[in-house]
A and B are shown apart, each in its own frame.
Chain A
Amino acid sequence: KQEVTQIPAALSVPEGENLVLNCSFTDSAIYNLQWFRQDPGKGLTSLLLIQSSQREQTSGRLNASLDKSSGRSTLYIAASQPGDSATYLCAANYGGSQGNLIFGKGTKLSVKP
């Protein structure tokens, strides 16, 4: 069964700290992996998409890595800010259809000023 797990479920850090969010997937035959941000009562915003042939992607203060062999992805957030507070979701695509994503339950991040 293809599953995606995110640990921890919640994380609280002081402003300015660098942090890592973890995502693991049970089936390494992944097509791509995507990180999203979800604010309370809102939809999802795509942050980074990593294709299976790639090892990492960067956007601003965010860096996502993908290690297929170990079934893991990490999202690194540098110099965290209170505005980064949100739930971060990772989602695996196994190529069934473009939008048939398998989501983790997310990590709820709180950045304290």
Chain B
Amino acid sequence: NAGVMQNPRHLVRRRGQEARLRCSPMKGHSHVYWYRQLPEEGLKFMVYLQKENIIDESGMPKERFSAEFPKEGPSILRIQQVVRGDSAAYFCASSPPYGPTGSTGNTIYFGEGSWLTVV
């Protein structure tokens, strides 16, 4: 069972360009989460998606950032008009659906991250 797959692992963009980061969840997982890890900072939650739905985007910057998880294909985190401050590691995680009791109980599984460098 392959883990959470992220690509590209490393991406270099010039200021003003667009960055697209892709995430394929583990098999059987329908929940996807994106996190950002800035240099010397902890991981910060960005967005939680299920297929074709954004469930919680409370951590997403208001501008230039968007995320989707289409019915078919990977989840995509899109950053438009990148700036140097966007340079960070972006992690995707996935989890299975809630159990029958409603308890989360499940851990989430992280990918190995996509390192974005804006020059």
Contact = CB atoms under 8 A, between A and B. Distances in A.
Size band of the interface chain B makes with A: 20 to 34
Tell me the interface secondary structure of chain B in the complex: loop
Contacts of B95: 98-99
Interface of B: 4, 31, 33, 40-45, 48, 55-56, 58-59, 91, 93, 95, 98, 103-113
B55 A45 contact: no
Interface residues of A, number: 27
B56 A100 contact: yes
A18 B55 CA distance: 42
**Highest count of chain B CB atoms <10 Å: which of A32, A96, A98:** A98
Given A89-B43, A103-B43, A106-B42, A98 B106 contact: yes
Given A46-B107, A46-B108, A105-B41, A99 B33 contact: yes
Interface in A34-83: 34, 36, 41-46, 49, 51
